[in-house]
């Protein structure tokens, strides 16, 4: 048993580091390629179609690459997004290599600052998923993953399971495994 505990501790620390690595912020190029910030070729090929197929997390960075002589990026309110109003942007970027940190959950609205481009479809809505908090208390976080599939309520009289809610790969799961193996 003398060598088992240090080895299990090392394994636990390794898995903990690996599970944290998955939550590092990402740098994501808008549209997935340079030059995507433009008027779309067709209504079926908009940046919103691209955004709907991606998951954005708090802490991610979104990058636009564009010709700063002819275009810009404006972060706007939902109302200005819908009306394509460039009059009062929340933030304006015109450097051709714009990097924006998604620092909170919820929707972000961006439109082109070039005259007429937003009305032609050069705009994007990004929805940033709420961070999942570990531990108890508070209301459950709602995200696109969980919004359509409510969790079933436990059956009356169901036995309490101390491991319920522990995801494989989470710190608490790994801690339970290490403790269980050390006690075996």
Nearest to 122 by CA among 70, 53, 51, 48: 48
174 class by beta-carbon count within 10 Å (0-12 exposed, 13-18 middle, 19+ buried): buried
Side-chain half-sphere of 89: how many Cα atoms within 13 Å? 17
How much of the chain, in percent, has pLDDT values that exceed 70?
A: 59
pLDDT digits (tens, 9 = 90+) for 78-113: 999 999 999 999 999 999 999 999 999 999 999 999
pTM, 2 dp: 0.61
- State the pLDDT at residue 121: 96
* Residues near 172 by beta carbon (within 8 Å), at least 6 away in sequence: 134, 166
Sign of the C-alpha dihedral, residues 86, 88, 89, 94?
positive
Three-class SS of residue 30? helix
Phi and psi at 86, nearest 5°, equal -100, 5
Task: Give residue-wise pLDDT tens across range 47-61.
Answer: 999 999 999 999 999
pLDDT at residue 10 in the model: 43
pLDDT digits (tens, 9 = 90+) for 129-152: 987 766 554 444 444 443 332 333
Task: Please give the Cα distance from 52 to 158 (Å, whole number).
Answer: 39
Asked whether residue 164 carries a pLDDT value surpassing 60, the answer given is no
CA atoms of 100 and 175, how far apart (whole Å)? 36
């Amino acid at each position: 048993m003398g060598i088992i505990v240090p080895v299990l501790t090392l394994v636990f620390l390794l898995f903990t580091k690996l599970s944290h690595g998955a939550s590092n912020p990402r740098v994501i190029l808008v549209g997935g390629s340079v030059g995507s910030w433009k008027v779309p070729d067709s209504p079926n090929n908009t940046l919103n179609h691209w955004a709907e197929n991606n998951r954005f997390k708090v802490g991610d960075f979104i990058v636009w690459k564009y010709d700063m002589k002819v275009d810009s990026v404006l972060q706007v309110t939902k109302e200005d997004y819908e009306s394509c109003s460039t009059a009062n942007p929340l933030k304006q970027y015109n450097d051709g290599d714009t990097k924006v940190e998604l620092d909170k959950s919820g929707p972000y609205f961006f439109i082109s600052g070039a005259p007429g481009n937003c009305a032609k479809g050069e705009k994007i809505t990004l929805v940033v998923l709420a961070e999942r908090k570990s531990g108890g208390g508070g209301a459950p976080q709602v995200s696109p993953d969980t919004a359509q599939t409510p969790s079933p309520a436990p059956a009356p009289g169901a036995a309490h399971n101390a491991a319920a809610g522990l995801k494989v790969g989470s710190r608490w799961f790994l801690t339970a495994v290490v403790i269980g193996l050390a006690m075996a």
